[in-house]
Structure 1
Amino acid sequence: MSDEEDADSESSLGSVSKGAGLFLGGDGFSRAVGLVTNLILTRTLGTSLYGIFSYTTTLFSLFMVFTRLGGNKSMLRFLPEYEDDTRTQSVMLGLAYGTSIVASVLVTAVVFYLAPFISSVTLDDPLFVDVLRVASFVLPFNTLANVTTSVFKSMEKMEYDVVVSSVARPILRLVFVGGAVLLGYSVVGAAAGFVVMGALTFGVGLAILIRRSPFGVGTVRRPSTPELKEYYNYSLPLTFNQLGGFLYNRTDILMVGFFLSSSAVGIYNVSVTVATILSLPLVAFNQLFPPIASRLYHNDELDELEDLYGTVTRWIFTLSLCPAIAALLYSGDVLAVFGEGFTRGSVVLSLFVFSQVTNCFVGPSGYLLMMSDHQYLTLVNQLASGVLNAVLNYVLILEFGLIGAAIATSAVLAGINVLRIVEVWYLEGLLPYDRTFLKPVAAGAVAAGVMYAVSLLLDQYALLVVGGAAGAVAYAAVLYLLGFEQEELDLLAGVVPSERLSRLLTDRS
């Protein structure tokens, strides 16, 4: 590479790592507040009522696929692509918001009217009908807030996204959802608090957007026919892509509610939620990877894109492996924190840990496909895996119950991730792997031995604290002794800006 290309590469890597650092800081706060809220809900409501609330939020994740109609992902594509054409950016922004408003109002009306039918074919509980109807009013607010945070990501302004998604939303959820339960309003009160949280979160995001947006908010011109075709040709396939994503990620919870009980839903959802924490590094680096990947790809800077892809994937896997080992070894003790009734999900948790490690091992391959004009392939991937997941869940839930659902979904999740990375290599010639991936594997083996040894001496809360800390120290120590690559130091410097840390790590590079 030339000096100019090196500078561009460092700029792209720095942008992604800075975005990941902001997200990790914000999401760490969000997870901590969210954990408090979930503990309030699980310990106050119990497995059955918590199951009703979590089933509602799962259904709403499905409904939001149709309220957004791909608008959130379209912002990640079009706003960076037209960075030199503010008028076209404004048109795309207007289409995303206008489409989302119309769709979300229609879906809200349908959910409110069909709540008794939805209950009859799922949990079959009159209380569930009330919860659905109350919570349905959150859909327009959550949809528009989601599009707004995507606009912030497309601007590469992660600090705005962090304020809305990682600070305002979890605090408001704790105050209005957790507060309603603590005041004795039970699960219907939690649903009402959910609506208030959504409205206020959108208000915060809209206020920031109006003040900080460079896209001419409020002066959007009427879109031309070619612009309409371009927008919907991209966004509508993404709607079905996101539907497929929901089916292979969350259809298991829907079917657990359909075939089993609200209590089973509560146990299963807690296990899945804990396992999903392992994807935090992946989600963090994905915050700014898509718009930067789109820019590099469309500028034909493929060498820089491959370097970025490899470094980001390696660090996603590195950051996720140690907590994954802890979750596997201490699964029962982790779930006991939410209440003794939830420990029945330990096998479910273990299965999902394996699938999340696979998810992190392939890095942002799904977004790379999407940003390199393969949206129809991602559509086929998602829909096919979603249908397969639904079929496997139907067969295995009837045979094995909760564990059957976990086997089906974790297997499909792992399989689609392997397929994505093969597709990126075949279609674009990009592969993120090299010998440096052996370093976190070696560190993980040492950490696993340390954590297992601690489990022979301690249990419950002492095991989680002491064993987790000992494993993390051992993992970090081995990585340090094996040394770091220069691009890893550049990435880490953006995530954790510290001059002293940089000097220390440079000594081991």
Structure 2
Amino acid sequence: MTDDEATAGGLGSLTSISEGAGLFMIGRVISKGFGFVTNVVLTRYLGTNRYGIYTYLLVVFSLFTVFTRLGGDKSLLRFLPEYEDDTRKRYAMLTLAYVTSVAGSVVVAAGVYLGAPLISAYTLDDPLFADVLRITAIVIPFNTLSLLTFSAFKAIERMDYHVAVASVARPAIRLVFIGGAVALGYSLVGAAAGLIVSGILTLLVALVVLVRKTDLDSVVRPTRGDAEQYYDFSVPLTFTQLGSFLYNRIDLLMVGFLLTGSAVGVYNVAVIISRLLSLPLSGFNQLFPAVASRLYHDGNHDELESVYGTVTRLIFTLALFPAVAAFVYAPEILRVFGEGFVRGDRVLTLFVVAQLTNALVGPSGYLLMMSDHQYLTLANQLTSGVLNAVLNYVLILEYGFIGAALATATVLTAINLIRVGQVWYLEGFSPYDRTFAKPVVAGVVSGLVMYAFTVPFQRYVLLVVGGGFGAVGFLVTLYVLGIDDRDIELLRSVVE
């Protein structure tokens, strides 16, 4: 294949990837916007300690959800498309997913209610946390079934329904009932009650859309063969998802286990802000795996490497300016949530570096998986999860929540660099060329511009004025250096 042919084919593949990325990123921007406002309300009215208790509640629930789903969400992503032409089999797999999740979530919810004092004693050791756990245990089945329904939308390729319910309706409902309860003066108990109401309403909305707008509206009694096939796939996925939890959330869990609710609150705000930088990567990852699998198994390796490089460069470019802004203005950004959260500026700085590295390596993890290295991917996930847990324990005892950030940022950076190295060693693909220097130069220029505004301005004025001029400096520098035609084509496809 010639370079011109690879380029032409690559643009077609890039357009395919961008179709899902654009819709997904719109939904995530809306979701993050609602979430940001909700968190600002909670931090302002609850303070660091009670906000930390609320945050820790969500983290504990996310761990329990790994077991209540029992891999059901990923199973639907496989079996619903696989049996698109076999209606009975499709309904049987859907029935198994919901019945299993209902049974598992009811058992877990009962266990949380009965074991709330014990859970509190071994984590935050706060009577208020135990009370809130008991109050909100009822929402576990509703949250589990909502997540399962969201996966069903993705499995039948209805990203519009997924975005409408998961990214718009759910965060909007949470803002109204959780943020509203706290703003009205009901404090942490009000937030817990709002969490229950929002969980129930979200599931009702999701099920109404599923039943009325899709053909997934029937229940079929599964055969023994159906059950064996389903659980043979779903049960191992539970351990993979557990490894993912250790990799992504164990730091926050251990901060609560070893420190205080206030430390959890400060730490979580820094994590929330830094994860905004992963939005471009998450968006392009929606369809990149499918395109990568097709190109790889069709033997179009030159085109795949070209697509891999272009997507990685664009992800890095889109993440770079907000990363520089968060690095330069870390204290001012955290001050938006309240003065008590400013002490998390070093945590935010560490996570910004880690997330920027995540963007720099692009979809390397999915490329490994789609090129028949799924067991290596599993080993990467589990190894990094265990290492993250060990480092968190050691460094938290030594440095407090700064140690947690240092441990997690180190593991995140290391595993991403290892992944891109594995792709190069095993497949010979590298996403990097001289064009990566352009966004780097633009990032340096924008950083200097924003830093210059720290002298005459501060607080919100600094964020608006300095950030605005920094963005102009970034875009002008990119324009002067020249934007690649493939990047322009890809951005145009995303917008359209």
What is the TM-score with the length of structure 2 in the denominator? 0.92
Secondary structure (helix, strand or coil) at the match of 1:185 reads helix
Look up the match of 1:119: 120
User: 1:174-228 CA distances to partner (integer Å, 9 max, x unpaired)?
Assistant: 11101111222211221121121122112222222223335x5415463563x65
CA distance in 2, matches of 1:77, 1:293: 17
CA pair 133-468 structure 1, distance change in 2 beyond 3 A:
same
1:158 maps to what in 2?
A: 159
Runs (5+) with no aligned partner, structure 1: 498-509
Correspondences of 1:50-449 after superposition (within 5 Å):
50-80=51-81, 88-213=89-214, 216-218=216-218, 220=220, 222=222, 225=225, 228=227, 231-294=230-293, 296=295, 302-449=301-448
Q: Which amino acid aligns with 1:21?
A: G
Unaligned runs of at least 5 residues, structure 2 = none
Matching residue's letter, 2:481: L
Q: Percent same amino acid among aligned pairs?
A: 61
Asked if the contact 1:153–1:288 (Cα under 8 Å) also holds between the matched residues in 2, the reply is: no
Distance of aligned partners of 1:398 and 1:471 in 2 relative to their CA distance in 1, 3 Å threshold: same
1:471, distance to aligned residue in structure 2 (A):
1.3
Report the alpha carbon displacement of residue 304 of structure 1 after superposing the two structures with TM.
4.6
Match of 1:26 in 2: 27
CA drift at 1:373: 4.7
| 8 Å contact from structure 1 (residues 122, 257) kept in 2 | yes
- Seen in structure 2, the aligned counterparts of structure 1 residues 75 and 4 have a Cα distance that, compared at 3 Å, is farther
- The change in CA–CA distance for 1:188 and 1:331 in structure 2 (over 3 A counts) is same
Deviation at 1:298, TM superposition (A): 5.6
- Tell me how far 1:168 sits from its aligned partner: 0.3
Shift of the alpha carbon at 1:438? Answer: 2.1
| Cα 1:350–1:417 shift into 2, 3 Å | same
Residues 196 and 294 of structure 1, relative CA distance in 2, 3 Å threshold: farther
Counterpart code for 2:252: I
Residue by residue over 1:280-331, the C-alpha shift from the partner in whole angstroms, topping out at 9 and shown as x without a partner, is: 1112222333444455556665555444333222221111110000101111
Structure 1 position 6, deviation (Å)? 7.8
Kept in 2: contact 1:77–1:294 (CA 8 A): no
- Distance in 2, Cα, partners of 1:204 & 1:469: 39
Q: Which amino acid aligns with 1:72?
A: D
Contact 1:97 1:144 in 2 (8 A): yes
* 1:504 paired residue number: none
Q: Deviations over 1:6-46 (max 9, x none)?
A: 88755543332122222222222222222221111111011
- Give CA-to-partner distance per residue, 1:212-271, whole Å, 9 cap, x none: 335x5415463563x655544443333222212211221111111122111111111111
Q: Please report how far the alpha carbon of residue 107 of structure 1 lies from its aligned counterpart in structure 2 after TM superposition.
A: 1.6
Distance in 1 (alpha carbons) for counterparts of 2:151 and 2:294: 16
Letter in structure 2 aligned against 1:162 = V
Q: Which has the larger displacement, 2-11 or 161-170?
A: 2-11
CA contact (8 A) 2:92 2:219 kept: no
Distance 1:91 1:429 in 2: 42
- Which TM-score applies when normalising by structure 1? 0.90
CA distance in 2: counterparts of 1:328 and 1:116, whole angstroms = 40
CA–CA distance in structure 2, aligned partners of residues 104 and 353 of structure 1? 35
Q: 1:79 to 1:269 in 2, by over 3 A?
A: same
For structure 1, which segment, 293-302 or 277-286, has the greater mean C-alpha deviation from structure 2 after superposition? Answer: 293-302
Q: d(CA) in 1 for partners of 2:258 and 2:292? A: 42
Q: What residue identity is the alignment partner of 2:44?
A: R
C-alpha displacement at 1:106, in angstroms?
2.0
- Could you give the per-residue CA deviations for residues 59-100 of structure 1, whole angstroms, max 9, x where no partner exists? 111111112222223334444555565655444434433332
> CA separation in 1, counterparts of 2:66 and 2:274?
23
2:181 alignment partner AA: A
Other-structure match for 2:488: 489
What letter corresponds to residue 28 of structure 1 in structure 2? V
How many equivalent pairs are there? 495
